[in-house]
A and B are shown apart, each in its own frame.
Chain A
Amino acid sequence: MDELVIDAAGMHYTPLNKQIRAAVAAGVKRIRLDNVLGQRFIANGVRGDVAIEIHGVPGGDLGMFMSGPRLEVYGNAEHAPGNTMDEGEIVVHGSAGDAVGHSMRGGRIFVQGPIGYRGGIHMKQYEEKRPVLVIGEYARAFLGEYMAGGTVLVLALHGGPAIAERGLGSGIHGGEIVLRGGIDPQYLGVGAKEIPLSDDDWARVLSLIREFARHFGIDPAPLEKREEYTRIVPASARPFANKYAWE
Chain B
Amino acid sequence: MSPSIGSLPPKYRVTVDRDQCMLCGRCVENCAYGAFRIDGDRIRTNSRVCTACHRCVAYCPRDAIDVSERPLDYRSHPVWTRGVREAIYNQARTGKIVLSGMGNALDYPMIFDRLVLDACQVTNPSIDPLREPMELRTHLGKKPQRLDLRKKDDGEVELLTELSPNLSLETPIMIGHMSYGAISLNAQLAMAKAVSAAGTFMGTGEGGLPEPLRPYQGHMIVQVASGRFGVDIDYLERGAAIEIKIGQGAKPGIGGHLPGEKVNAAISKTRMIPEGSDAISPAPHHDIYSIEDLAQLVRSLKEATEWKKPVFVKIAAVHNVAAIAAGIARSSADAVVIDGFRGGTGAAPRVFRDHVGIPVEAAVAAVDAKLRNQGIRNEVSIIASGGIRESTDVVKIIALGADAVYIGTAALVALGCRVCGNCYRGLCPWGIATQRQDLVDRLDPEAGGVQVANLIHGWTLELMDLMGAAGINSIESLRGNRDRLRSYMIDQALMDVLDVKSVGA
Contacts and interface: CB of A to CB of B under 8 A. Distances in A.
Given A14-B303, A83-B300, A243-B96, A126 B268 contact: yes
Contact of A17 (B282, B296, B303): B303
Contacts of B233: 45, 47, 65-67, 86
Contacts, number: 141
Contact of A174 (B87, B94, B273): B273
Given A13-B303, A124-B272, A237-B260, A247 B350 contact: yes
A40 B87 contact: no
B305 interface: yes
Given A84-B228, A237-B276, A245-B90, A99 B236 contact: no
A238 B259 contact: yes
Contact of A67 (B87, B232, B299): B232
A41 B232 CA distance: 15
A124 B273 contact: yes
Given A13-B303, A149-B274, A237-B277, A247 B287 contact: no
Interface string A16-30: 011001000000000
Contacts of A77: none
B274 A125 contact: yes
A84 B231 contact: yes
A126 B273 contact: yes
B300 A41 contact: yes
A103 B272 contact: no
Contact of B228 (A41, A122, A247): A122
Interface residues of B, number: 47
Nearest to B95: A245
Contact of A246 (B99, B228, B236, B286): B99
* Size range of the chain A interface in the assembly: 35 or more
Contacts of A145: 286
Contacts of A65: 231-233, 236, 300, 304
Interchain residue pairs A-B with the least CB separation, the first 5? A45-B304, A103-B228, A247-B100, A245-B96, A126-B272
Interface of B: 86-87, 90-91, 93-94, 96-101, 226-228, 231-234, 236, 257, 259-260, 268-269, 272-274, 276-278, 280, 282, 286-287, 296, 299-300, 303-307, 349-350, 424-425
Given A124-B228, A148-B277, 12 more contacts: A14-B307, A40-B299, A44-B300, A84-B228, A125-B274, A129-B272, A173-B278, A238-B278, A239-B278, A241-B260, A244-B349, A247-B86
